[in-house]
Structure 1
Amino acid sequence: MDKIKILVVDDESRMRKLVKDFLVREGYIVLEAGDGMEAMDLFYEEKDIALVILDVMMPKMDGWQVCREIREHSRVPVIMLTARSDERDELQGFELGVDEYISKPFSPKILVARVGAILRRTLGADPGELLKAGGIEIDKTAHLVKLDGKPIELSFKEFELLTYFVENQGIALSREKILNNVWNYDYFGDARTIDTHVKKLRSKLEEKGDYIKTIWGMGYKFEVES
């Protein structure tokens, strides 16, 4: 897949640099704009922007106006940044078709995680991407799991949890790490939600559920018995 292009729009050059540095480190191409009008010029000029990170408070044309204009032409994902944590702002953003809403100050790592989650959702997995382990076959494109060739029904989160386990075979995974990677920072509650999902997943995997080992006091490890 070609490198993914992201447009970062913020009138603070220091903020743009911070966000850009973290995104470039993850392999993205980053375009920058210092105000809304410059952002729209770039948006029309570059036809393959995959995601827009957009500050609300900007000169010439604010984030709401930019988002409104983008939505007249495109469904490209938009992450809105704001210095204010105001529920009315958040509701207005979602009504305009904002995909994510992040209040400043924020952790750049969390922003990058949200970018990755949205792009996985919108761009999808590479065609034909298959994972296999001990009679379990995961088709990431079709969102399908087979046990010894027989399809099984998994919920969306059970599918993502199993995929994460198989992609990290033999690695001890803490509950916090699983939350951050499978729940993509969406969930800030009790980590025991993982235990509930693991219990259901083990049941659906039948005897292969034993591949998911409990590491007491820490989390889990997926290991196929030889």
Structure 2
Amino acid sequence: MSDKPLILTVDRNRRNLELLKNFLIKQGYEVISASNLDELDRVLSESNNINLVLLDVSGFDQNIWIRCEQLKNQAIPFLIISAKSKYITAIESESLARGASSILVKPLVIKQLLNLIRSLLRD
């Protein structure tokens, strides 16, 4: 087992998922990914050592909020990532109500993302 923090990345867009995964690996993190709710459920049931989840809610249906509740109940910190839209205020409110540590709006600011990751992994 690695002593590197394990980050789960969740995004329906496989290209974005791969870019984020490669970036995080270069930063020294261990990364697993899920691109749909079934994969997310499988990873959460099989992995008991996830340190942080980066969850892009774009393109998911309302069931994504149930998964956020599960993360909260399992005490796994998570960041919500979302595209900027006319619904961003509602997404931010829902994210925080469901236990998100923070919300990042795309396009991501790398320095902000890294600072949040480091902060959450220290807690």
1:83 match: 83
2:121 match: 119
Contact 2:71 2:77 in 1 (8 A): no
1:208 match: none
TM-score under structure 2 length normalisation: 0.86
TM-score under structure 1 length normalisation: 0.49
Unaligned runs of 5+ in 2: none
Question: Over aligned residues, Cα RMSD in angstroms?
Answer: 1.9
Aligned sequence identity (%): 30
CA distance in 1, matches of 2:63, 2:7: 19
Contact 2:71 2:78 in 1 (8 A): no
Give deviations 1:124-182, integer Å, cap 9, x for gaps. xxxxxxxxxxxxxxxxxxxxxxxxxxxxxxxxxxxxxxxxxxxxxxxxxxxxxxxxxxx
Give deviations 1:189-210, integer Å, cap 9, x for gaps. xxxxxxxxxxxxxxxxxxxxxx
Q: Provide closer, same or farther for how the CA distance between residues 118 and 38 of structure 1 changes in structure 2, counting only shifts above 3 A.
A: same
Question: How big is the shift at 1:62?
Answer: 4.6
* Aligned positions, number: 120
CA distance in 2, matches of 1:97, 1:3: 24
Q: Look up the equivalent residue of 1:95 and give its one-letter code.
A: A
Show structure 1 runs of 4+ deviating over 4 A. Answer: 59-62
Higher RCO (C-alpha 8 Å, min separation 6): 2
Matches within 5 A, 1:161-172: none
CA distance in 1, matches of 2:59, 2:34: 11
Give deviations 1:61-108, integer Å, cap 9, x for gaps. 753232022223x11110001113522211111111100100111123
Rg larger in structure: 1
